[in-house]
Amino acid sequence: DTGVSQDPRHKITKRGQNVTFRCDPISEHNRLYWYRQTLGQGPEFLTYFQNEAQLEKSRLLSDRFSAERPKGSFSTLEIQRTEQGDSAMYLCASSLIGDNQPQHFGDGTRLSIL
Amino acid sequence: AQKVTQAQTEISVVEKEDVTLDCVYETRDTTYYLFWYKQPPSGELVFLIRRNSFDEQNEISGRYSWNFQKSTSSFNFTITASQVVDSAVYFCALSEAGTGRRALTFGSGTRLQVQP
Cα-Cα-Cα-Cα dihedral sign, residues B82, B32, A34, A75 = positive
Q: What is the pLDDT of residue B42?
A: 86
Q: What percent of chain A has pLDDT over 90?
A: 86
- Cross-chain residue pair A105–B103, CB shorter than 8 Å: no
Nearest to B110 by CA among B92, B86, B83: B92
Give how far A15 is from chain B: nearest CA, Å: 25
Nearest CA in chain A to B43: A107
For residue B26, pLDDT over 70 is answered with yes
CA angle (A50, A54, A60) in 5-degree steps:
125
Cβ atoms of B65 and B57 within 8 Å: the answer is no
Q: What is the pLDDT of residue B24?
A: 98
Give how far A52 is from chain B: nearest CA, Å: 16
Size of interface A-B (CB pairs under 8 A): 59
Q: Does the bond joining A8 to the residue before it have cis omega, within 30 degrees of 0?
A: yes
- Residue ranges of E strands in A28-74: 31-37, 44-50, 53-57, 65-68
pLDDT, tens digit (0-9, with 9 covering 90-100), for A51-105: 999 998 998 888 999 999 998 899 999 999 999 999 999 999 999 988 778 999 9
Cβ atoms of B108 and A41 within 8 Å: the answer is yes
- Which residues of chain B make contact with A40, given a CB cutoff of 8 A? 108-109
Nearest CA in chain B to A33: B103
- Cross-chain residue pair A56–B102, CB shorter than 8 Å: yes
Nearest CA in chain B to A101: B50
CA dihedral in degrees (A19, A85, A59, A39; nearest 10)?
A: 100
Q: Residue B30 region, left (φ>0) first, then alpha (ψ -120 to 50), else beta?
A: alpha
Query: What is the average pLDDT value for chain B, to the nearest integer?
Result: 93
Average pLDDT (A41-51) is: 95
Q: What is the pLDDT of residue A1?
A: 55
- Spatial separation of the C-alpha atoms in residues B103 and A47, rounded to whole Å: 8
